Amino acid sequence: MPVVDVQPDELRRLTGHEDKSDEEFKDDLFALGLEFEGVTDDGAFQLEFGPDRLDRLSVEGVARSLRYQYGDARGVAVPNTNDPDWTFVVDDDVPDERPYVTGAVVRGVDLDDAALDSLIQLQEKLHATMGRKRAKGAIGIHDLTMLKGDVLSENASGNSITYTGIEPDGDTFVALDSNDELTPAEVLEQHATGRKYADLVSEYDRYPAIYDEIGLFSFPPVINGRRTEVSTDSRDLLVELTGTDQWTIDRMCNIICYALAARGATIEEVEVQYETGTVTKPDFEVETKHVSHDRIETVLGVELELDEVIDLFERSGLDANAELGEETVYEVSIPPYRVDVLHPLDLVDDVGRAYGFNELEPRYPDVGTVGQRHERSRLEDAVRTSLVGLGFEDLLNFHMISEGENYERMGVEVGSGYLGGGEPASITEPYSEDYTMLRTWVLPSLTMVLENNTHRAYPQDLAEIGHVAHRDDDENTRVAEARHVAAVLARHDATYEDAKARLAALCRDFDAELETPATDHPSFIDGRTAAVVIDGEEVGVVGELHPKVIVDHDLELPVAAFEFDLSALA
């Protein structure tokens, strides 16, 4: 989950509620779904929230949400924009892998230290989430006064910059945090930021580059030039975004523009000139979605008047008009910075938060049954108790993971037939490249925990009972789901025998017959690996992790492990 640092004094200033105490703010923020995680050394709140509300990745976005909650602002607000004076010319040499650009000119912004820190944090958080670590979208923010625009033509006024592609060893520029004139290829080799993001462009024949009349000033998605560096003295800014998806970079641009507008800045449009035509950015189009009155009442479990629902929408930063007929349906206007409203239930959630989830009265469902624990839940609880009794520390990891962690770092190929090699159930539009699919097995999650805890004392004996899934066209949902039991023993003397002994003890607790015939698995050492056969059915694997897996996870001692299907113990 994203964690954002927010200074409470900035919240007071931007909300206009100077009298609010820190504790009152914490309660109000929790009502919005932002959880207080602690305080930084300089007194900033550390707030964690769901990755859907990316407009809250800055203090300006959080303050805007609070103003709506307090009733100080209502309905959809769209910043006024001035006519364009700058044009982005997209050259035909732009790399095919990164063809899209958008942006805005921002004038009259007051950047003190707090505002500049917030802008930098917003930029980096958007890179990490929507931008997928700059792979899908990257942001460049420049001091406009340091740019000299090309004249478009003899008959046209205004300024232009050019988005193009250059040879890796082409023109030089001085990158941020550097004093040396370097080519793009040299930046990737010699600059710390260049090395960090080199893999994003290293396979390109030509590298993305942005020029003004003076020369190269931005090397997206890697680094900006030092000439246009933004400081607290900057008042006019050029915001440019490049990426692989136009919708994504347009929405990232909107979030930045709204944050700067909250600081009193004026947004000025830019024209983006493609070979196929010219478009005007930023895209502040207000979208609409529909939801029925009955659905709102059914989901929330409360009866609401029509005017009350419209009021709650407006207190959520939305506008709504009721369309009366056999069924009352609301046409709801969505502001340009809201990237999370994809479904009518997202609208119901906004109404519920504005109403106050704490105000909802609990009630028994109108059914004639008595609840009790599911048998699978009872089995999980019993197995978990046995694992703890065997000396394992019980874990609960995310069910989502990346393809690299699930397959590549474990040495498993997709569709290989080995445990964990099933076809992935992938997310079509993930917010983060760290969570792009449902995991097909549990051991990758446990090895990631070991990797992140090399500073802890050993031995580390960890276990988890967790959800796994893989594509299966024979299932109605096209996805087969299961619960797996997995465990690792990380210690200087961990062996296959140690893992098998714990596994055998677990099976004895459930009167299950265990057999361990020799097998092979790419995550384990040949000759130190066996299949887990319980009551005559092969359900998993046990053995010593392969040295390549151990090295790839920066572990410096042996790891023995096992994993099998929980249902085998039923």
pLDDT at 157: 57
Does residue 177 lie within any of the structural domains? yes
Average of pLDDT values for 486-502? 96
pLDDT digit string (tens) for 243-270?
A: 999 999 999 999 999 999 999 999 999 9
Q: Which residues are annotated as a binding site?
A: 340, 346, 349-350
Q: Is the pLDDT of residue 136 over 60?
A: yes
- The answer to whether residues 414 and 525 belong to one domain is yes
Does residue 76 lie within any of the structural domains? no
pLDDT digit string (tens) for 399-409?
A: 999 999 999 99
pLDDT band at 152 (very low <50, low <70, confident <90, very high): low
Q: Is the pLDDT of residue 516 over 90?
A: yes
Does residue 75 lie within any of the structural domains? no
Does residue 529 lie within any of the structural domains? yes
- The answer to whether residues 428 and 298 belong to one domain is no
The residue out of 281, 306, 336 marking a domain boundary is 281
Does residue 332 lie within any of the structural domains? yes
The residue out of 235, 254, 281 marking a domain boundary is 281
pLDDT digit string (tens) for 295-354?
A: 999 999 999 999 999 999 999 999 999 988 888 999 999 999 999 998 999 999 999 999
Residue 442 or residue 475, greater confidence: 442
- The answer to whether residues 102 and 55 belong to one domain is no
Average of pLDDT values for 214-225? 95
- The answer to whether residues 54 and 94 belong to one domain is no
| Residue type (1 letter), 48 | E
CA dist., res. 467 & res. 483, Å (int): 5
Say if residues 25 and 11 touch (Cβ distance below 8 Å). yes
pLDDT band at 2 (very low <50, low <70, confident <90, very high): confident
User: At 119, is the secondary structure helix, strand, or coil?
Assistant: helix
pLDDT band at 149 (very low <50, low <70, confident <90, very high): confident
Q: What angle is formed at CA 130 by the lines to CA 125 and CA 134, rounded to 5 degrees?
A: 75
For the record, the structure tokens of 8 come out as 């409470």
- The answer to whether residues 272 and 308 belong to one domain is no
Q: How many CB atoms lie within 10 A of CB 215?
A: 13
- The answer to whether residues 240 and 121 belong to one domain is yes
pLDDT at 209: 96
- The answer to whether residues 130 and 152 belong to one domain is yes
pLDDT digit string (tens) for 358-382?
A: 888 887 777 777 777 888 889 999 9
- The answer to whether residues 510 and 428 belong to one domain is yes
Q: Which residues are annotated as a binding site for Mg(2+)?
A: 340, 346, 349-350
Listed in sequence order, the residues at least 6 apart from 156 whose beta carbon sits closer than 8 Å to its beta carbon are: none
- The number of distinct structural domains making up the chain is 4
Average of pLDDT values for 223-230? 96
Strand partners, 46: 5, 38
Q: Is the pLDDT of residue 151 over 80?
A: no
Q: Is the pLDDT of residue 547 over 70?
A: yes
The residue out of 237, 261, 281 marking a domain boundary is 281
Does residue 363 lie within any of the structural domains? no
Q: Which domain holds residue 237?
A: 81-281
**CATH number of 259's domain:** 3.50.40.10
pLDDT band at 1 (very low <50, low <70, confident <90, very high): low
- The answer to whether residues 208 and 248 belong to one domain is yes
pLDDT at 213: 92
Q: What angle is formed at CA 235 by the lines to CA 13 and CA 173, rounded to 5 degrees?
A: 130
- The answer to whether residues 380 and 338 belong to one domain is no
Does residue 223 lie within any of the structural domains? yes
Q: Is the pLDDT of residue 200 over 70?
A: yes
pLDDT at 359: 86
Burial 353-364 (b: 16+ CB within 10 A, else e): bbbeeeeeeeee
Q: Is the pLDDT of residue 156 over 70?
A: no
**CATH number of 60's domain:** 3.30.56.10
Q: Is the pLDDT of residue 39 over 60?
A: yes
Listed in sequence order, the residues at least 6 apart from 334 whose beta carbon sits closer than 8 Å to its beta carbon are: 76, 286, 287, 288, 289, 318, 341
Question: Rounded to the nearest 5°, which phi and psi values hold at 309?
Answer: -65, -45
Average of pLDDT values for 78-104? 94
Listed in sequence order, the residues at least 6 apart from 117 whose beta carbon sits closer than 8 Å to its beta carbon are: none
- The answer to whether residues 177 and 39 belong to one domain is no
Does residue 252 lie within any of the structural domains? yes
- The answer to whether residues 178 and 317 belong to one domain is no
Q: Nearest to residue 396, comparing CAs of 409, 414, 413, 384?
A: 384
Average of pLDDT values for 553-564? 95
